[in-house]
Amino acid sequence: MHVCIINTLYYPFSVGGAEKSVQMLAEGLIEKGCKVSVVTLSEKNGREMVNGVSVNRLSLSNIYWPFVKRKRASWVKILWHLIDQFNIFSMFKVYDVLKEIKPDVVHTNNLSGFSVSIWFSCWVLKLPILHTCRDYYLFNHTAVVDEPGRGIMFLPFLLKKHCSKLVDRYVGISRYIYGLHNDHGFFKNTCGGVVYNSVDHQSSMVERKSEDMIRIGFIGRLNYSKGYDLFLSICSSYADCQGVRIQAVVAGIGDEEFVLESEKEISPRLDLLKLGHVQLSEFLEVVDCVVLPVRWAEPFGRVVVECAFSGLPVYVSNYGGIPELENIFPNVKFLNNTNMNDIPISEIKKYFEVGQSAVEIFSVNAVAKSYLKIYEELVLKNK
């Protein structure tokens, strides 16, 4: 079977977890004997093989490349997003590639830069479409929704919802994001389901070092939506409440002004160790627990899963797709009113055994197998 996967970016380019998930799926399908082509965006056209996957890079058909940090005038950003509501240039480009490579099924993912217009490319060529909802792009141009029902841009929302009727099947990467799209009337003519992302179990397995110091970790972007300021407040409050010295171990980078402001009010009992950008295993080796007080509704929570595989306690906010992970991992626990003052030190130092069933749910093999079954059903239905 020839599967064409479409995603905004592809290895080695990345802005989040979606690119990693898509790459793991593509390479997992190769292992199952599929032929896999990826169509993705770049600053210029190109074609290459990446670990057995044929990667077709198309130049972005818009007024600027948005995946670099650069200040732009408001009217320029508005124009970019107007074009991205239904990018007719992308529609023709993707049509040409699909006509050339002749896949059996098309699997669309993150669409920013392509726009929903590419569903028409597939429809004209009579190719079955599976779409995976990995973000909130269909709700608004920022691909961010703080909570259900908020952050919806009405006219673009209606356009994208109408275009979603072209999709033959859709999948959510969590029950939360699947339900959110379903509740708002997307993909009316299809049935759907939930397939979690693949997460590498091996990269999260670490050997813990026994020390007297209590080390509470945070990993991710040091910004408001990820709750970096909340993390420091939680650690400071816990240090004062327990009457002991705590080391807050921070892995990641962020806006300098926000970071400095967040670090002003930390407790004198709190030591701050900033690792910068490091590998996950390096971070997990030097912490006793992980605290991730995110403020926005994470569609999935890849970092939560990666940290949970280590066996360390992982304390999280009760938003988005994250609550589902508490039912899978014994060591994923909710923060109580964004503090952990009632958590005994003995629990923070506790190690949890993660069962094989949890490992299997997020394995490359299981995820690829689930998608392959959907592809086969779509191809059979399309004959």
Please tell me the predicted confidence (pLDDT) of residue 204: 62
CA 206 to chain centre: 23
Surface-to-core class of residue 131, CB atoms within 10 Å of its CB (0-12 exposed, 13-18 middle, 19+ buried): buried
Give the residue-averaged pLDDT of 104-110. 98
pLDDT > 70? residue 152 = no
Whether pLDDT at 341 is above 90:
no
Q: What average pLDDT does range 137-147 have in this prediction? A: 65
Domain extent for 16: 2-198+363-382
**Both 93 and 106 in a single domain?**
yes
* Least confident window among 28-42, 150-164, 354-368: 150-164
* CA terminus-to-terminus distance, the chain: 14
User: Does the pLDDT of residue 306 top 60, yes or no?
Assistant: yes
Q: How confident is the model at residue 148 (pLDDT cuts 50, 70, 90)?
A: very low
Same domain, 80 and 156: yes
CA pair distance 122, 62, nearest whole angstrom: 21
The contacts of residue 145 (CB under 8 Å, 6+ apart) are 136, 139, 151, 152, 180, 296, 297
Read off the pLDDT band of 203 (50, 70, 90): low
Q: Which amino acid is at 368?
A: A
Q: Look at residue 144 and tell me whether its pLDDT is greater than 60.
A: no
Categorize the per-residue pLDDT at 147 as very low, low, confident or very high, splitting at 50, 70 and 90: very low
At 347 the pLDDT is 87
Q: Predicted confidence band at 383 (pLDDT cuts at 50, 70, 90)?
A: confident
**Tens digit of pLDDT for each residue in 52-93?**
999 999 999 999 999 988 889 999 999 999 999 999 999 999
- Clarify whether residues 135 and 72 are in a common domain: yes
Q: What is the CATH number of the domain that holds 225?
A: 3.40.50.2000
DSSP state of 290: E
Residues 65 and 214 in one domain: no
- 240 with 252, same domain: the answer is yes
CA–CA dist 104, 283 (Å, integer): 42
Q: How far apart are CA 248 and CA 270, in angstroms?
A: 7
Residues 278 and 135 grouped into a single domain: no
Q: Which helix H or strand E contains 67, and what residues bound it?
A: none
Residues 183 and 244 in one domain: no
Same-domain pairing of 306 and 216: yes
pLDDT digits (tens, 9 = 90+) for 208-267: 655 667 899 999 999 999 999 999 999 998 888 877 778 999 999 998 899 999 998 888
- CA-based radius of gyration for the chain: 22
156: pLDDT strictly greater than 80: no
Higher pLDDT, 191 or 42: 42
* Same-domain check for residues 287 and 174: no
Q: How many folded domains does the chain comprise?
A: 2
In the predicted structure, residue 3 carries a pLDDT above the cut 50 = yes
Same domain, 101 and 189: yes
Residue 87, phi-psi category: left (phi > 0), alpha (psi -120 to 50), beta (remainder) = beta
Q: Of 302, 238, 306, 309, nearest to 267 (Cα)?
A: 238
How far apart CA 100 and CA 94 sit, in angstroms, is 10
Q: Report pLDDT for 221.
A: 92
Determine which of 189-198, 207-216, 280-289 has the lowest per-residue pLDDT on average: 207-216
pLDDT at 217: 96
Same domain for 159 and 192? yes
- Positive or negative, the Cα torsion across 8, 12, 13, 17? positive
User: Residue 195 pLDDT > 90, yes or no?
Assistant: yes
Q: Residue 149: its pLDDT value, please?
A: 45
Q: Say if residue 25 is in the same domain as residue 170.
A: yes
In the predicted structure, residue 367 carries a pLDDT above the cut 50: yes
Which residue would you say has higher pLDDT here, 315 or 157? 315
pTM equals 0.91
Burial of residue 83, with CB atoms counted within 10 A of its CB: 0-12 exposed, 13-18 middle, 19 or more buried: middle
pLDDT (0 to 100) of residue 242: 79
Region 45-52: mean pLDDT is 96
Reply yes or no on whether the pLDDT at 354 is more than 50: yes
